[in-house]
Every structure is written in structure tokens, then in C-alpha cells.
């Protein structure tokens, strides 16, 4: 589906709503009430599960036909290992991203990306 600038504007405005509600509703409710324990316990595992799934999509899945490509994007896989090491040692988001970009750019010269 091809989108016009008007579609893009609508997408941005709807994205704002979708991004705002999960940030606002719990903040509003729980600034006057206690947080239910089960909700916190469950939400604890949502970020790690979602981020992993997204990384897997980026480095193991060909999104044209959703096939598993194994080691097809080897440059990204090696760069991902480097990023994990940098993130673990430095705890810095900026360093992790910069090292990741440099690593993938250099690795792409010799490995498939």
C-alpha cells in the first residue's frame, strides 16, 4: 500500500495516541492507588520478550516472505554479539549503538548483510 503525506500525518497522529495511552493511564491510576502485584510481575517480562523477538526478526528473518534464513545475515549476527559485549561492559546506550553501527559497516565489507 502506498501512502500519501496525508496518510503519513494520520499515521503520526494515531501513533501519538497509541504511544501516549500506555504511558498515561498507569501513571494516572497508580498515582492515587496501589499497583496490583500480578500486573507488575507480568509486565516485568514483557520488555525482554518483545525486544528479543524484535532483534530475532532483524537478524534471522527475511521480512519479504517471513522465512528463517539461519546465518544468512552473518554480518548482523557478529555485530550483535559485539553490541551485547559493549552494552554489558559499558551500560551505555550511545556507545552500544555507535559500536554496533561501526561493526556492522565494517563486517558488511566481508560478510553477507
Q: Which of residues 20-49 bind other proteins (CB under 8 A)?
A: 20, 22-32, 35, 38-49
Contacts (CB under 8 A) with other proteins, residues 46-85: 46-61, 63, 65-68, 76, 79-80, 83-84
CB of residue 90 to other proteins, shortest distance in Å: 6
Q: Residue from 3, 71, 74, 78 that binds other proteins (CB under 8 A)?
A: 3
Q: Does 16 bind other proteins (CB under 8 A)?
A: yes
Contacts of 23 (CB under 8 A, 6+ apart): none
Which one, 16 or 71, has the nearer CB to other proteins?
16
Q: Residue from 74, 99, 110, 111 that binds other proteins (CB under 8 A)?
A: 99
Longest dimension (CA), the chain: 57
Amino acid at each position: 500500500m502506498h501512502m500519501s503525506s496525508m496518510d503519513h500525518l494520520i499515521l503520526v497522529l494515531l501513533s501519538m495516541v497509541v504511544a501516549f495511552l500506555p504511558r498515561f493511564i498507569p501513571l494516572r491510576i497508580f498515582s492515587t492507588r496501589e499497583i496490583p502485584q500480578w500486573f507488575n510481575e507480568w509486565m516485568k517480562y514483557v520488555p525482554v520478550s518483545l525486544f528479543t523477538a524484535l532483534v530475532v526478526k532483524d537478524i534471522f528473518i527475511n521480512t519479504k516472505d517471513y522465512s528463517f534464513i539461519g546465518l544468512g545475515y552473518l554480518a548482523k549476527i557478529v555485530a550483535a554479539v559485539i553490541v551485547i559485549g559493549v552494552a554489558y561492559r559499558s551500560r551505555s546506550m550511545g556507545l552500544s549503538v555507535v559500536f554496533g553501527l561501526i561493526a556492522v559497516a565494517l563486517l558488511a565489507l566481508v560478510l553477507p548483510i
